[in-house]
Amino acid sequence: MPGAQASRARVARRIATAAAYGGGGLGLLGVGLAGVLLTESRLAIRAIGILDGDPPRADGVYGAAFADPAQAADPLVLAFLGDSTAAGLGVARGGETPGALLSAGLASVAERRVRLVNVAKSGSRSADLALQVAQALQHRPRVAVIMVGANDVTRHSPAATCVRALGDAVRTLRLAGCDVVVGTCPDLGTIKPVRPPLRWVARRLSRQLAAAQTIAVVEAGGRTVSLGSLLGPEFAARPEMFASDRYHPSAQGYATAAMALLPSLCAALDLWPEETGGAAVEPEAVLPVAVAAAAAAGRSGTEVAAAGPDTGVWRWALIKHRLRLGLPGAEQLRTASANSHPGTGDVRAT
């Protein structure tokens, strides 16, 4: 195992262990470096633009165009939880949010209507997930997507506390019969206004938190998809992936993230075909959960899920690079997803 990956695995396991046993903060930076980074952080905050208004509303029922007319099943409920990225801040239309894109994609694969319930809120941290879980469970979701972590890094929240809150959220949802897919902390080192040395530290902390999140989620019965390295090189090379504030994703950026999450979301519901022969991107592997988490934190769109029977304590994890398919086309999306005016087309306001 490469040195950086081994180091990340050790740190991730320490954070996850501290979370499990009630530890608080985990010091990752020296005092001298922290002072430099504080100055750099203030400069970055001044350089990052501000997006006015709230994310567009996208809650509703998706996919009548994909549903099997012979089946009159109730819509499958998809809950979205997390921060501004989960809410879709940075786009103008509801149909461009990750919740809408994944609802339409899930409906097309399941051939069933999907009802989106998005309780994510801009500015949320992992500590806010408990309230969001309570709100989501009122709608009896069958599957949930959580995207959280960026605000935990930027606001210097204790890593162990954040990981414990995420693990508790996943565990509560699983006990309610809801499958969970978590998009782990994005790579904050890709943000243009963030300059070295803050950029290097932001990347390191983002990946360490993402790896620790993976351990907590897998041990709580969920699965994760690495967004950090996926969004890193692609976003760094393509400014159009960012919204006008150069911090949140644009419509293209959200579509990229949604395409990475869709296969794992479908697999959680046993809807994704098994990839055999030439269809698989790479052979899957079973690794110790900390090693799998560290590897996923540094590799594009990697899924990590528990390996073995549900014993309540996961020691081994299955790491997989799933084949990504495109989301429904523009014409399908217009009839199958939300827009900025709920109640029109195929979407019913909730």
Q: Which residues are catalytic?
A: 84, 245, 248
Asked if residue 222 lies in contact with residue 163, where contact means CB atoms within 8 angstroms, the answer is no
* Largest pairwise CA distance in the chain: 66
Give SS3 for 120: coil
The single-letter DSSP state of residue 304 is: E
The single-letter DSSP state of residue 267 is: H
Backbone region of residue 324 per phi and psi (left: phi > 0; alpha: psi in -120 to 50; beta: other values): beta
Distance between CA atoms of residues 314 and 306, nearest Å: 6
Alpha-carbon Rg for the chain in angstroms = 19
| Alpha-carbon distances of 144 from 76, 123, 140, 180, 299, rounded to whole Å | 11, 19, 10, 5, 23
The single-letter DSSP state of residue 124 is: -
Give SS3 for 38: helix
CB atoms within 10 A of CB 234: 15
